[in-house]
Amino acid sequence: MKFLLASLLLGLVSAFGFQPLSLWPLTLLAFAGMLWLIDEAPSLRSALARGWWFGVGQFTLGLNWIATAFTFQAKMPPWLGWVAVLLLSLYLAVYPAMATGLAWRWGRGSRARLILVLAAAWIVTEWLRATMFTGFAWNPVGVVLIDSWTKWAATVVGTYGLSALLILLSGLLWVILSIRSWLRFPLAAALILLVMIDLKLVDRSKEGTPADSLQIRIVQPNIGQQDKWRDGFEEENLARLARLTGPPATRPRLVLWPEAAVTDPLGDNRPLAAAKVEALRQRVGRLLGPGDLLLTGGITLISPDGDKVTQATNSVFAMDASGQVLGRFDKAHLVPYGEYLPMRPLLSAIGLSRLAPGDLDYIPGPGAQTLTLPLVGEVGFQLCYEIIFSGEVVDDGNRPAFIFNPSNDAWFGRWGPPQHLAQARLRALEEGLPVLRATPTGISAIVDAEGRLLHSLAWRTAGVIDAALPAAKPPTLFARLGNLAPFLFALLLAAIAVAIRRKAR
């Protein structure tokens, strides 16, 4: 029992490395402790249990922001949010358990082999977590290294490979701390200090932004989830967007609004709704200068018979000053319970509902797309939650110049927005593309093609970011190979472990 309690506590400590705390040396120490616990496990069942409790601790603390979402849904009590966090953590912990079980089965008897197998297994199980049952890729452990020089491994082996690198570093720390000498403590400190080198100390924020670069204005209206869908708030919503968008500039601008910034439908295929939709589009267009381009989140209503609305899409609309829609992107990776209710007949019968207001389920779009638009050229889109899925954010056949990631983090509490931003930075680093984020309550940001945070707006503040579009970089190795890269890395680690085992024999 004491080992299971130690596993749970180590899992909790490992979550301190995630945003907003960013105490990632504790994550290294926690995984070093986890390796020791696996090594000491007397059986496969014990190793699985220790990995599972480690996962329960990590996910319960790291995903605490999910409980906040339930405070915006009147149909369900707020305490149910913490039940949801715990139940989700109990499920997600299966994946660390699988990794620790594989490490014990194929790595025990040699510290080096145990470390290598756990790192390889973590790549596979973290990918499975992002894939199974629609996937939940939030907080891969490699994201804690986003401000360390070691983050550059993501350009080669991606996020899952970066997670494996964290385990390799933790394994080295475990080996150092096992030395029976006073030298183990200065050596451990030296390892952590070496990894702590932060390349942000070198200011290269103006690289790749020529004077004639496209001018961007990102709008953050600070409209909370408690107000966004309130009856009668539509006028105040548009008024805030108008004030922050401001008068036309001397040069054409790319204006970016958040997810669902326009709460009334900007798309509706019913003939009776055509005049209302057109009037709204023109009203939005009048807020722009003659050469401006607006990318805004909005809703598309779909009626198969032209009368009754049965479906909707969560969309991004590209609009000009005349209100004309020049392109539309529909979100593909939808959030269960947020944008649709799984098993609706059953769950509705027991009183459950979507966390977002409304009973209409959204339907998915076709996936990663690049739209060719005036003023900006090729633009990639990832709407909110979609940005967390490594290797799935770019149209391979048509590489964009940047990725626009509008989001609504207003119901994610204090921990969710910085965690979301950290994962967006990883996508920029992996793909070698800038990422532009617009959110209603923060954190809106401009991230360059090396994952550096160039500009941001604080949580729960209203404001704008005026800046030039950072340049894209040539495709990284990961951008060319996708998630084949981390799997090749896993095979390499496993092959080294096998070689060590054969040599020992």
Known catalytic residues are 259, 331, 384
Q: Where are the alpha helices (H) located in 178-308, listed in sequence order? A: 184-195, 225-228, 234-245, 274-285
Phi, psi of 304 (to 5 degrees): -60, -35
Distance CA 144, CA 148 (A): 9
Alpha-carbon dihedral sign for residues 13, 18, 20, 21: positive
Instruction: With both helix axes pointing from N to C terminus, report the angle between 2-14 and 44-62 in degrees, rounded to the nearest 10.
Output: 40
Q: β-strands 402-406, 253-256: how paired?
A: unpaired
Looking at the DSSP bridge assignments, the partners of residue 142 are none
Q: Does residue 389 contact residue 130 with C-beta atoms inside 8 Å?
A: yes
Q: Does residue 66 contact residue 81 with C-beta atoms inside 8 Å?
A: yes
Cβ neighbours of 6 (radius 10 Å) = 18
Q: Does residue 147 contact residue 200 with C-beta atoms inside 8 Å?
A: yes
Q: Does residue 121 contact residue 491 with C-beta atoms inside 8 Å?
A: no
Tokens 């005036």 label which residue?
A: 374
Distance CA 493, CA 488 (A): 9
Q: Which one, of 484, 476, 325, 455, lies nearest residue 399 by Cα?
A: 476
| Alpha-carbon distances of 109 from 18, 178, 504, rounded to whole Å | 32, 15, 10
Q: What angle do CA 218, 427, 169 make, to 5 degrees?
A: 135
In this structure, the chain runs to a length of 505
Distance CA 111, CA 122 (A): 16
Q: β-strands 267-268, 293-302: how paired?
A: parallel
Q: Where are the alpha helices (H) located in 315-399, listed in sequence order? A: 344-349
Q: Which two tokens stand for residue 60?
A: 């319960």
Q: Does residue 473 contact residue 394 with C-beta atoms inside 8 Å?
A: no
- DSSP-assigned letter for residue 418: H
Torsion of CA 477, 143, 334, 80, to 10 degrees: 170
443 preceded by a cis bond (ω within 30 of 0): yes
Q: Does residue 136 contact residue 130 with C-beta atoms inside 8 Å?
A: yes
